[in-house]
Amino acid sequence: MSYVLLVAGFLLLIKGADTFVVGSSSIAKIFKVPTLIIGLTIVAFGTSAPEAAVSVTAALKGSNDMAIANVVGSNIFNVLAVVGIAAMINPIRVQKSTIIKEFPFAILASVVLMILAHDIKFQGYNENLLTRADGLMLLALFAIFMYYLIEIALTSKEEMNVEQVKENISIGKSILMSVLGVIGILIGGQLVVNSSSDIAIAWGMSENLVGLTIVAVGTSLPEFVTSIIAARKGESDIAIGNVVGSNLFNILFVLGISSTISTIKVAPIVFIDMLVMIIVTILAYILSATKKSISKSEGLVLAIMYIAYMAFVIIRQ
């Protein structure tokens, strides 16, 4: 039964996020909010909503390992599997702004997360915690990131390729879709956390392992689908932009909100995965910066690295 509830939870998360994006984007269009800003804010939130729902729910339940492993695992999956497979379909072109600003900011956010979480090493405490103060610091960085995105939106002369919302959706239907989307996200997050915990107990697996594997991949499906579709359409710059933006969203917003609501205890083993997250992000940055693109062969290497990482995580367990 736990497996059925897990699948149902993932379906609710994905469908809820999609419904929320369509409904809230329609409301924004009715009130004449620029399409680019919709894409950089509402759509970005929609693809990261599953991670947010799972991590916040896990933090509230005291499932600390899953709360942080979900984000770290999702970010590693995004960089290695999503970018790798997208590049194998079509070589990914990387925009100059992504190389100069967004990628370095993603690396910075990953390093900041590790420093904030490693209280034993940097603060001399007895345990590693993501406290409310740490959460507020992450949210402050998220506010800076959003300011940067909105500034780009307002000064950019080119419209971002964002899924167009049907003009015939009424304000009432748009609000209903937004509300139903949020409800689906919340219920889905609850189902995923509860069923994943049950599966972990039944199989003698740790919440950390479940969070890094099953839950991380499941909550990253919106990013995966978006990037793969973009790659197939030849819009590979959207594929890499979606991943970098989502990873920043996951660290700064998802963990920021989660740790602000409830202090998250960080298990020592997670720091190995955080280090992997930083290394693969730097690797993707180097591949992007060298030729301003990621080739099919480089994409294959990234995908193989993800398989190797999954094998390492399972063996380590």
Domain at 139, CATH number: 1.20.1420.30
Instruction: Determine the Cα–Cα distance for residues 57 and 66; give it in Å rounded to an integer.
Output: 10
| Residue numbers of the domain that contains 16 | 2-316
Q: How many angstroms separate the first and last alpha carbons of the chain?
A: 24
pLDDT at 85: 94
DSSP annotation of 215 reads: I
pLDDT at 196: 82
pLDDT at 211: 86
pLDDT at 168: 61
Instruction: Determine the Cα–Cα distance for residues 77 and 83; give it in Å rounded to an integer.
Output: 9
31 token code pair: 């009130």
Low-confidence ranges of the chain (pLDDT < 70): 33-44, 153-168, 236-238, 317
141 token code pair: 């960085």
pLDDT at 97: 77
pLDDT at 37: 61
The separation between CA 308 and the C-alpha centre of its own chain, rounded to angstroms, equals: 21
pLDDT at 71: 94
pLDDT at 164: 46
pLDDT at 166: 47
Residue 129, beta-bridge partner list: 265
pLDDT in tens, 239-280: 787 788 889 999 999 999 999 988 998 989 999 999 999 999
pLDDT at 291: 84
State how many domains the chain has. Answer: 1
162 token code pair: 């964002």
pLDDT at 163: 47
